[in-house]
Every structure is written in structure tokens, then in C-alpha cells.
Amino acid sequence: MFDFLQNLEDSERPLLGPNFWLINKTGLLLPKTNFGKLAYILVHEIVTFFVVTQYVELYVIRSDLDLVLTNLKISMLSIVCIVKVNTFVFWQTSWREVLEYVNEADKFERNQTDETRGKMIETYTKYCRRLTYFYWSLVFTTFLTTTNTPLMRYWSSPIFRENLRNGTEDFPHIFSSWMPFDKNHSPGSYCTIVWHVLLCAYGAAIMAAYDTCIVVIMVFFGEKLNLLRERCKKMLANDLYNHAFVIGQLHDIHVQLIKQSRLFNSLLSPVMFLYILMCSLMLCASAYQLTSATSTAQKLLMAEYLIFGIAQLFVFCWHGNDVLFKNANVSLGPYESNWWSSSPRVRADVLLLCGQLRVRHVFTAGPFADLTLSTFIKILKGAYSYYTLLRK
């Protein structure tokens, strides 16, 4: 495993190496060949059609509350997954621009010789690796949980096994979706199992690729602000440098950072808006099934799925809140420099830089919510409210 992870490192992409590898393998970044593009797009649209069949099945089973909740908590995550895929493919050019900016800006920082900034870069690189691999592990665990839920239900409930034998219970499947053949009897049931496992693996890979890439980019934007503040502290420390040129360079760095963060937000915001809309209902359905489960095994599986949903939302909101906090602090950098000992002309340039650094940007989830911890808490409160209503 260690050798495999080491092979994911890329000297051309020192920060995004593993993330770039996975978004290429999953087809979020389309290959350059026309055949490769068509093949990946075809796979994406087949999965999109499958998610539509989940909602068709949801209408068919609307009279069974337990089946509706099982379908709902998975189909809501599925629709978010296909929206992530299709928006990434549709806005491919813009995503490539953001990824290229992050890679080049990160390499620019690594080429500097300042010891303090070098330690900062090493720290956030290690943090991004740990976060990426932890999230991949969490997604893989959720994949195993989702695919083994029907099996655990079969093993843990003698009554269910007996009902399955006498025909009063339908064959348990991973997803509740429409199929063009009899999915409750052999051989259709086993074909459905293989199909569902493949689709679940695809969804898990997409979630791992998209989410970790997004979070690493958010971490980089926050750390870039920290590095910019550190540069501002020392911009007047050396009298041999052209102070006007140094200040102008810092101004340009911040302008480009704000431009790219706004572009990044325009790509992310619609997806997060849909996710926040779905999240409260998904968490509510998971919590309801957790409390209504009869066996310990089922409770453990439901608890893991609920933890994944909360962790996924928390990661986005935490790092969005972190970037907002660092946005507020970057303007302190010029005041921590030796501006007071400079000439009036340089002081005027510093004042202009201070004005630019006050320009802030916050990541949003549509037009109504920001990606902050307060939004995370509101969603949990909303999910709990829906849960108590459903219990009554």
C-alpha cells in the first residue's frame, strides 16, 4: 500500500498528484483522444440513466415507508454524484483552468527559498495527503457497507431468511431500481447484484475523486492567503529590492487568487446547493433507519452510512469556513511589515495593497447559503427536525 501511494506522487504536480491521478482514472478529466472522451461520456450517461430508474422505482414502492427511505437515502446521494460528474465534464475547460492555476501557484511557492514559507508548504502538503487518504478510506468503507447491507440483513434475521424462502419477501438488493427483467429470481437477481456492485464502485470512485480534489483546492486557497500574508510581512525587509515591484507583485498575486477562487466557486456552488438541499433529508432517512433497525449488524451499517454523510458535509463546511477566516487575516500582513520606516511613495503603494487585500471571497452553496460551520449546524438541526417529525 505504501509503494502504491508513493507511485501516485507526481513531481510535476507536487500538491495534486494523487488527486489528479484519480480524477483522470474516473474520467472526470476527459482524455485527449476522441475515442477516450466518447467512452467516458457514455459510461457517465449510462449511470445517469440508472439514477433515473431509481426514482422510477421510488414511485412504484411509494406505499412501503421502509423501502422508500432505503431508496431515498441512496438515490439522493446518487443524484448528487451524477451532478458532480456531468458538471465537471460540461465545465471541463474551466476546471482545467482552476487545476492549472493551483498547480502553477503551488510550484511558484515551492521555488522560493524562505524557510518559514517552506515549513508552511510542507505542513499543508502533508495535511492534504492525510485528508485525501483518510477520505478515500472512508469512501471505501461506505462502499463495503452499502454493498453488504442486503447480505447482513439476510444473515442477521432468521425471520427474513424464512420469508425469503417462502416468497413473502423480495430478494434484497443494494439499490432499489427498475430493471428490464425479473430481478427477484435467478438468474436476473444475480445479474442485478453484479450490476449494482459495479455502479456502487463507480459512485464511490467519483465521490472520492471529486470531493478530495475540491477539498485540496480549498485548503490551497486558504494556505495561499497565509503565504501571501507572510510575504507581506517581509516585503520591505530588504532594502536591496525594488519595493514598488515587490508590492506590485503581491497585488497581482492577490488579484489572481481572487479571480480563480471566484471561478472555482462558480463551478462548485451549484453542486453544493443541490447537496445541501438533499443532505437534510438524507441524514434524516439514515437516522430514522438507524433507530428502527432491529439487529446490531444493521445498526452498525446504518451508523457508518450516517457518519459518512455528516463527515462529507463537515469537510466542505470546515474548509470553507477556514478560507473565510484566512481571508479576513490576510489584510493584516502589510501592517506587520516595516511600512513605517519607508518613503512616502512606498507607503502610498502599501496603502493601495491594503485596499486590495480587503477584497474577500467566501465559498457558497447557491445564492442562499455560505459554506461555513454555521451552515453545517443549521443543516444538522434541520435533519433532526425532519427526523422527529417522521418519528411522530
Instruction: Provide the percentage of residues in the chain whose pLDDT is more than 90.
Output: 43
List C-alpha distances in Å: 300 to 140, 156, 196: 16, 12, 21
**CB-based contact 23:210 (threshold 8 Å):** yes
List C-alpha distances in Å: 376 to 74, 261, 392: 20, 21, 25
For 63-120, the pLDDT digits (tens) are 766 667 767 777 778 888 899 999 999 999 999 999 999 999 999 999 876 888 889 9
For 255-294, the pLDDT digits (tens) are 999 999 999 999 999 999 988 888 777 777 777 777 776 6
Q: Is the pLDDT of residue 240 over 70?
A: no
Q: Is the pLDDT of residue 172 over 80?
A: no
Mean pLDDT of the chain: 86
Contacts of 331 (CB under 8 A, 6+ apart): 354, 357, 358
Distance, CA of 368 to CA of 314 (rounded, Å): 18
Cis bond upstream, residue 187 (ω within 30): yes
Instruction: Say what the pLDDT of residue 66 is.
Output: 67
Q: Which of 31-45, 146-160, 228-242 has the highest mean pLDDT?
A: 31-45
Query: Burial of 296 by CB count in 10 Å (0-12 exposed, 13-18 middle, 19+ buried)?
Result: exposed
For 27-42, the pLDDT digits (tens) are 999 998 999 999 999 9
Instruction: Give the residue from 294, 291, 288, 307 showing the smallest Cα distance to 387.
Output: 288
Q: Rounded to the nearest 5°, which phi and psi values hold at 157?
A: -130, 100
C-alpha cell at 230: 507572510
Distance, CA of 354 to CA of 247 (rounded, Å): 10
Question: What's CA 76's distance to the chain center, in Å?
Answer: 15
